Amino acid sequence: MTTKLTGTIQPYGWGSRTVIPDLLGIPPTGEPQAELWFGAHPLAPSIAAGRPLTELIAEDPKGIIGAAPVAAFGPRLPFLVKIIAADQPLSLQAHPSRAQAEAGYAREQAAGIPRDAQNRTYRDGWPKPEVLCALAATEALYGFRDPEETYALFEQLGVSAAVDLVAELADGSARPQDRLCRVFGRLLRLSDSERSVVREVAAAAASICSGETGRIGEAGPSEALRYFAATAVELSSFYPSDPGVLAASLMNRVSLQRYDAIFLPPGNLHAYLRGCGVEIMANSDNVMRGGLTPKFVNVEELLKVLDFTPGFPGLINPVLQPPGVWRYPTPTPEFSFWRLEVGTDPIELPGAGTGRIVLVTNGSVTLASGTAGGEALSLRRGESALVTAAEKVRLIGAADVFVGAPGVLDG
């Protein structure tokens, strides 16, 4: 069975007012539309054949998802596909490993904290690794910069109170991870009376960005310092006294172009600043936040989850399989992820034997069934479909297509 999906729009305040309406070919509402979800998340399941996808899966999990994924993950779709469209920064956030999620969920259940409570940290027992593949220029914060480099940037910025707060970054007698952990925790725990340093840093950074610093004949700020300053200015414009502005200054800034992709494993601290892309992730709602948000911030639990190993591992290197098919490999068992460029020749839909979600981001395509009794389904830009485990499908047309599937068959 191949069935068109109707996704669910999430109107978070940081969302773009135009990107998702343009993708769907509908008039903007004037309100932010941050994410478009395709999948079977219990909070916002897609509609398939007039019913929530969660209901269809519950009736025939092996037939829809596949026997192997059900054996590995139970009778639920283990992944979620999203369009994300950000006009302003998201919160600093990280996600737990499976072991951390299972333990944290059990602990909060035993404590009687309602799953929808604002102070709930673990809403389920699943991890939430993610991949983001950019559809347009996208700016993100990802993991931690080398601590010595970060200390040098704070010194160049010249705010003495901030330099004092991060001085431990320069202590070469301790492991980089330990230095970053202690400084990061210190910054997030700033008292109200100490938070004036955030405005001092923002003012100094604004001077660098405007070119007001330095003397005639002196070299201007380095590219690294300009990016460092620009990030502080951008974040403080939305969160002027939030210690997350300083915590974010410990992080790597990453610029993505179209079809560049990053993998965000458990424990990775990240935040998107602006841009849009396709995300695939494990089907979880576990988010630990570290600032730049009015939502609940649990600093102690975040520190337990975070990986403070400095550095940026680089972009995902997509693997060309058949012509027109790129797989974005990750070590994550919950999902596999492909990008297809459908053109002259038909393309066999990857992920055979599992339930798949197909999303068209440009052009139009026909999903032609190779299964006896199957029917063709046409999709245009912004439309999505569920292809069940037993279905064999060829894609015909001219389109850019993303495909998500359970990762148990991923090589």
Please write down the HEC assignment for all residues of 182-196. Answer: HHHHHHHCCCHHHCH
User: What sign for the dihedral angle of Cα 277, 278, 282, 284?
Assistant: positive
Q: Which of 76, 274, 289, 339 is an active site residue?
A: 289
CB within 8 Å of 65: residues ≥ 6 apart: 57, 75, 76, 77, 78, 354, 355, 389, 406
- Burial label, 182 (beta-carbon count in 10 A; 0-12, 13-18, 19+): middle
Report CA torsion sign: 157, 159, 165, 168: positive
CA distance 152 to 155: 5
Annotated active-site residue 381? The verdict is no
Give CA torsion, residues 316, 317, 320, 325, to 10 deg. Answer: 20
369 and 391 Cβ atoms separated by less than 8 Å: yes
| 231/223 Cα distance (integer angstroms) | 12
Q: Would you give the DSSP letter of residue 64?
A: H
The residues annotated with a catalytic role in the active site are: 289
